[in-house]
Amino acid sequence: MKIINKIIIFLKEVRLEIKKVNWPTKQETLRYTLIVIGLSVVVAAYLGLIDFLIQDFVLARLLKK
């Protein structure tokens, strides 16, 4: 019976803490999502370019030999 009381107390405390959370608005969530997607595209393009340049350099060096 003690474990059930502990679980109930825990869940009540969780509920109280969740009420204290400052949730972002729908507009903030959309803005942050677009920022993450944009930065992901930029990083992917940068890494793709670096990969292409390194691959091109290595292939050029191998073909010269």
Q: Is the pLDDT of residue 29 over 80?
A: yes
Looking only at Cα atoms, what is the longest distance across the chain?
79
Q: What is the structure's pLDDT at 57?
A: 87
Q: Average of pLDDT values for 32-37?
A: 98
Instruction: Measure the CA angle with vertex 55, ends 50 and 57; round to 5°.
Output: 95
Q: What is the structure's pLDDT at 60?
A: 79
Task: Map tokens 């679980």 to a residue.
Answer: 7
Q: Is the pLDDT of residue 64 over 80?
A: no
What number of residues does the chain have? 65
Q: Is the pLDDT of residue 45 over 70?
A: yes
Residue ranges per domain, the chain?
23-65
Q: Is the pLDDT of residue 65 over 70?
A: no
* Residue-wise DSSP of the chain: -HHHHHHHHHHHHHHHHHHH--PPPHHHHHHHHHHHHHHHHHHHHHHHHHHHHHHHHHHHHHHH-
